[in-house]
Structure 1
Amino acid sequence: MSIEIENSAELDVFRKLSEGSESAFSAVYVRYSPQIFTFIDRMLGLSDVTDDLVQDIFIDLWQKRDFLKNIENPKAYLFRMASNRVLDYQKKIASRKPILDFVISQQPTMEAMSEQRVLYKETLILLGEALDTLSPQRRRIYELSRNEGLSHDEIAEKLNIAKSTVANQMASVLKQIRLYLEKHAVIFSFAIFYLLTQS
């Protein structure tokens, strides 16, 4: 028996998926795979790669379905999985270049798509607002890491603080920025957030 997803039944279908229902998984795949494909393809523009990533995402969703029972917003969780896949792919082709430089280098591609351009600029604005909420030391650590490309060791030496302090502060900074963006940004901005904040 197939399952069709209505908005009001979304949580129930994901719950059934978490319990191992293959029909629920099929329903989730039918409904969300086209959205995930569009989500990824707008950022990569490589349909063959996008196809592979979408398949990987849903294989991963099935294999880790048990986690869904503790997720309050499974749809957002699914799109974050997609964001992580995009990040992994971008990291490979970026050859570990500074992430911000890589994103800037992709700006002409983003500007070819008006919707993506708006979201890109929106995320940059929100990132700036999020940075304004940081303490002076946390902001300095973030800027040394992301804007100047310094390692944790180099930051610790420059600021005369312990390396563990740098690591802990960076973890707190990224969490604070992520929470700010989750509160203020649309879901389509998550991938850009990860590209801007991960090393």
Structure 2
Amino acid sequence: MKINATHNETELLTEIAAGSERAFATLFHWYRDKVYSAAFRLTHSSFLAEEVVQDVFLKLWVKRETLLEIAGFEDYLFIMTRNHVFSALKRMARQQQLVDDLQLELPVAENTTYNRILDLEIAEIVHQAVELLPAQQKQVYLMSKEQELKREEIAKKLRISSETVKTHLARALRHIRAYSKLKLEISISWLLFFLVN
């Protein structure tokens, strides 16, 4: 889907290169679904496709000053998405291979210890991520996950709309996933180093 007639693509990219968040939001609105669809076709995972969308647009924003050098933005965006997906899949395959190799080398008891340590590490990382949430997001998340309340119940208790609850949950989950992904990659690297050496 190309940007509509009221938004000239070159002008929009010029505004983004100059740092306009409004122009970037417009670009995101028009191309988000296209990036998601391409990523989903390649990964068959809604979770990974969402991550690709976030990573691709974050990269576009970080490199916004170079956008004016791009001829054929839509083609560039598709190639960028495809390359990002392939890199992510290769990285995941390498990490899984490391874990598989380690599990083959360690006796069963040590594998159990490794898994137990990893489970504890994941639980601690998620706890840290939850603690960093803004107050109302944290409250909504805990009411949903720990008290197992439905959206409507949370909305009624907090006197906010069901849509606001939905937004808080979505933002909380995005934060927890991003934080956990970063921390877990670091933790697994240290854990593998500790167990192998």
TM-score, normalisation: structure 1 = 0.43
Greater RCO structure (CA 8 Å; 6+ sep): 1
Whose Rg is larger?
2
TM-score, normalisation: structure 2 = 0.43
